[in-house]
Amino acid sequence: MTHKAIIQVAATTVVLVFAIGIILSGDQVKSSWLGYYSYAVTAATIVLSLWNQWIWRWEWVQKLPRVPRSIRGTWRGTLESAWKDPTTGQSPTPKPVFLVIRQSATAVSAVLFTDESSSRSTMASLTEDGFGTTLTYIYLNRPQVRVEHRSRMHNGSAFLEVSGRPANRLRGRYWTDRDTRGEFYFDQRRAEIAEDFEEATRIFQA
């Protein structure tokens, strides 16, 4: 959600509460308007907190303009690397992966789990340009110790296009500072937030 829209929500709440207080106060408005202002600010703070964490995700709210598309949850999909083994000329077989997205109305973060590593976003944004919604993020990949000899820690970036309202598919690509690249595709989603690869696996087996 844009800062402009957030300010509009807060301002509208303040004005409404303040106006109701003035109407109800009648002849006492001159002596009590500061009290109503305090109530209005408190109400705006509560509304913004509820909006940021929950209200924006409600199905009917998702249909409103300028409300960010909800992609929160654990996604299951595949990662297909374009890297080719120099000895065989073959690319690795597609790998099952999980993408866990934490999201509020004002922020988003992502972590990708494979059976060998995790890639956590250091910067992420969800944008809508009139043609569609995209998730872009920069990440740091941390491999498990057992595979460090062939897969070292690295940085990368990812770009994913969001389809459906509510969102039901994510498709995109990634690049790394190891001069590798590949594609993602996610088409299964659960509301639960997984903490690792094993937990994500259990979520989809339930």
Residue-level pLDDT at 149: 86
Q: Read off the tokens for 143.
A: 């491999």
CB 75 within 8 A of CB 186: yes
Asked whether residue 165 is domain-assigned, the answer is: yes
Residue-level pLDDT at 75: 98
Asked whether residue 62 is domain-assigned, the answer is: no
Specify the amino acid at residue 117.
S
Asked whether residue 60 is domain-assigned, the answer is: no
Domain count, the chain: 2
Give the closest residue to 57 by CA, choosing from 67, 43, 42.
67
> For residue 34, what are the domain limits?
3-53
Residue 188, CB-side half-sphere exposure with 13 Å CA sphere: 11
Residue-level pLDDT at 20: 63
Asked whether residue 68 is domain-assigned, the answer is: no
User: β-strand 108-113 against 133-143: which pairing, if any?
Assistant: unpaired
Residues 146 and 85 in one domain: yes
Q: What is the CATH number of the domain that holds 191?
A: 2.40.160
Residue-level pLDDT at 86: 83
Residues 168 and 111 in one domain: yes
CA–CA separation, 203 and 206 (whole Å): 6
Residues 112 and 153 in one domain: yes
Residue-level pLDDT at 136: 98
Residues 111 and 10 in one domain: no
Residue-level pLDDT at 12: 65
CA–CA separation, 73 and 188 (whole Å): 10
CA–CA separation, 162 and 128 (whole Å): 10
Residue-level pLDDT at 43: 72
Residues 21 and 121 in one domain: no
Q: Mean pLDDT for each 10-residue chunk of the chain (206 residues)?
A: 55 61 56 60 76 88 87 98 87 94 95 97 93 95 91 95 93 95 97 97 94
